[in-house]
Structure 1
Amino acid sequence: MSGQQFKVAASSGQRWDALALGEVMLRFDPGEGRVRNARQFNVWEGGGEYNVARGLCSTFGHRSGVLTALPRNELGALAQQLIQAGGVDTSQIVWRDYDGIGRNTRMGLNFTERGFGVRAPLGISDRAYSAASQLQPHEYDWDAVFGRDGARWLHTGGIFAALSEHSAQSAITAAQAARRHGVAVSYDLNYRASLWDSHPDPDAARHANCAIAAECDLLVGDEYSFAACLGMDLADLGKRETPMDVGPADAAAQRALQRFPNLQAVAFTLRDASNAARNGWAGALRTRDMLFVSRRREVDLLDRVGGGDAFVAGVVHALLAGKGEQVAVELGAAHGALAMSTPGDTACTSLEEVEAVARGDAAAAKR
């Protein structure tokens, strides 16, 4: 099937093609080493929601911005410079005064090991009471953000919504305002056990996820995240026969489409992570009428982090550009594969390279 079923507001002079609402953290990367004996780190910016905006801008050429909060100190300034280096608009950042020792607000930090072979990737977050976790709905004029000259697309995610009661309400309010103004909304459930296990009220988190999903056009998640984040009873779907078995996730997506009438599509990735250095990898998109699946590929991993976010960026790009659903999953899967071939949370690539990988071009040296 060709053409586009997914409906997005046409480009007509809006300030942004897409905005991402979420926390931006500083990522400390020990390279091939381990955190416990590292003597130096590379520093990147990253965040499950922000990474989508970064990919939309730096790879696909869309005008994107980030809705977040940072502390007014040297770490906040570093994060801002890293965001700007990727071309993402920082004009909507909320800045919080810093008390000098981090009692009132702070920068979220993430220490990430890439993993190799039998050694799994490892993420260690240090983010409690971060500036972004304190973001409250009243700190943005949502009608201005999503009005006629605002944005065409809003992306947010379950990581941000799970940080605090304030962040959850901000995500709900943003999604409701975006829908009110005809702005497409995507939400990546992005289930993280570390956030859920520490949440004071899992039922409240689940209710927040459902409230946001109800406003969405594109929901990102599979049967596991639907059960954990939305409380959907999917036990009758059974287990996947293999990690790349699309059946249970597709069946769960169809149930989500029935449950949330505003949804136009559900997207998810398929990954066989039996080895930390090589994964089976593909992407899928379920609309109300059809399932679209990308070609499956074996991906040699340098840095797994950000592959799913890059997939979402590729899908959103294709839908914004009216390229159709099959192109969306092919570009999303290719972009995700490239993101996992480079260090940091985002892909250091171009549209031309993504399209070449999506076509299946050989990785011969280019000179």
Structure 2
Amino acid sequence: MSNPLLTLRPAADCQWDMVALGEVMLRFDPGERRVRNARSFDVWEGGGEYNVARAAARTFGLRSSVVTALPDNELGRLTEDLIAQGGVDRRHILWRDFDGIGRNTRVGLNFTERGFGLRPALGVSDRANSAASQIAPGEIDWDHLFGVAGVRWFHTGGIFAALSATTAQVAIEAVEAARRHGTVVSYDLNYRASLWNSHPDPDAARAVNRRIASSVDVMIGDRHGFETCLGLELGKPPAGDPMDGDDFAAVAPQFAATFPETRLVAATLRRPTTSSQNGWSAIAWADGQVHRAPVRETVDILDRVGGGDAFVSGLAVALMEGHDLDTALGWGTAHGALAMTTPGDASMASRAEVIALASGGDARTIR
């Protein structure tokens, strides 16, 4: 099916349905314990950009690949093995020589507590000097990837762009090349002050993200991202329930007026009651209209990390398959809700489960 909202390259003309650019980290999960008291951890792979491509592959059965870098040591090979288990192609991994102690390059680590009840989720990153943060402009032949091999949808985000001055430039060259070759580009602003504040240029976040935004078809962001990452002056936010989406409905047209190349702006809506329960929905703007997903007043959460990435993946896959925006929002919110019921960053849901929940299914036992 074709999609009237986005012009997508035919699947038969492309080697890849989706390619992501980003850092793939090892996530150490203490389960029900605290990081400070843990004696064992489950290990998952994850990364804000990678999670979207992984779900496209493992949950929805699409052809996905990731562009990243890893050290050629045991931790790098563990990460590669986890990527393989996720169904994501590894041929675009840049392998770095390892000096034996990690001074020159390493795998980024993320220790993440899921949180429970009144105790919030907690992430402790250990990612300085990672292989992915050292990717430099000119290392990837983007014109070959997008022009010769062919990619229908390219996804990256503000976490990767913020890793270093070089990754910011890599993100820029990637989105501009994708646009030249007719690949749909999605970008998740995903602002992380701890990353951008380490840049020597205090205006780096806004300069980089404004450059990227001019080549984006699908922008994932909200007021906070538009103000911090793009420097938009949006006025005072309206009072009210964050789940009603009124604030997004007010600021999305202002974003679109500044970046008219963008066809779709979308964001998740959360109402945190506790770490274990949230209200959950999503909202989007396209062609001058606001579209709202059904509101789930209470979503029980085991692990909230990756819920937003699962939303982006469900949204993108539905649009790639020719569904309308309302259906795509339904797939995205259903997928995000399901992803938050399992541990780790990555979705463990199936396509059938996503579609069933989006179509009004419930939690009755499947036999």
Range into which the TM-score falls when normalised by the shorter chain: over 0.9
> 1:117 maps to which residue?
117
Alignment of 1:24-39 (within 5 A): 24-39=24-39
Deviation per CA, 1:12-65: give whole Å up to 9, x if none. 231100100000000000001100000000000000000000011111111010
**Are the aligned partners of 2:165 and 2:199 in contact in 1 as well (CA < 8 Å)?**
no
Could you tell me which runs of 5 or more consecutive residues in structure 2 were left unpaired when the two chains were aligned. none
1:182 corresponds to 2:191 = no
Match of 1:350 in 2: 350
- Once residues 62 and 277 of structure 1 are traced to their aligned partners in structure 2, the CA distance between those partners, rounded to angstroms, is 31
**Over 4 Å off, 4+ runs:** none
**Secondary structure of 2:81's partner?**
helix
Q: 2 CA distance for matches of 1:324 and 1:71?
A: 42
Cα deviation code 1:111-130 (max 9, x no counterpart): 00000111000001001110
Bigger shift: residues 70-79 or 12-21: 12-21
Aligned to 1:105: 105
Q: How is 1:202-281 mapped onto 2 (pairs within 5 angstroms)?
A: 202-236=202-236, 238-281=237-280
After TM superposition, the structure 1 = structure 2 runs for residues 50-89 of structure 1, keeping only pairs within 5 Å, are 50-89=50-89
Partner of 1:291: 290
Question: Which digits, 9 at most, give the CA deviation of each residue in 1:54-110, with x for residues without a partner?
Answer: 011111111010000000000000000000001100000000000001111111000
1: distance between equivalents of 2:336 and 2:19?
20
Indicate the SS of the match to 2:138: helix
How far is the alpha carbon of 1:290 from its aligned partner?
A: 1.5
Report the Cα distance in structure 2 between the residues aligned to 1:225 and 1:201, rounded to whole angstroms.
Answer: 18
Q: Which amino acid in the other structure matches residue 265 of structure 1?
A: L
**Secondary structure of 2:216's aligned partner:** coil
Structural RMSD (CA): 1.3
| C-alpha deviation, 1:289, in angstroms | 2.7
Local SS of the residue matching 1:270: strand
Between 330-339 and 318-327, the greater mean CA deviation after superposition: 318-327
Distance 1:239 1:197 in 2: 28
- The DSSP-based 3-state class of the residue aligned with 2:182 is coil
**What amino acid is aligned across from residue 120 of structure 1 in structure 2?**
P
Q: Secondary structure at the match of 2:366?
A: coil
Q: Which one-letter code corresponds to 2:264 in the other structure?
A: A
Q: Deviations over 1:250-282 (max 9, x none)?
A: 221111111112100001000001311100000
Asked if the contact 1:186/1:220 (under 8 Å) is kept, the reply is yes
SS of the aligned residue for 1:102 comes to coil
Q: Secondary structure at 2:27's aligned position in 1?
A: strand
Alpha-carbon shift at residue 201 of structure 1 (Å):
2.1
1:291-330 map, 5 Å: 291-297=290-296, 298-330=298-330
Task: Give the direction of change, closer, same or farther, for the CA distance of 1:174–1:252 in structure 2 (3 Å limit).
Answer: same
Shift of the alpha carbon at 1:230?
A: 0.6
How far apart in 2 are the matches of 1:202 and 1:87? Answer: 39
Aligned residue for 1:149, secondary structure, equals helix
Give deviations 1:133-169, integer Å, cap 9, x for gaps.
0001211111101014321111000000001000000
1:127 maps onto 2:127 in alignment: yes
For 1:122 and 1:87, locate their aligned partners in 2 and report how far apart those are by CA, in whole Å. 28
Secondary structure of the 1:137 match is coil
Percent identical: 57
Aligned to 1:360: 360
The secondary structure found in structure 2 opposite 1:311 is helix
Range moving further from structure 2, 189-198 or 119-128? 189-198
Shift of 1:240: 4.3
Matched residue SS, 1:235: coil
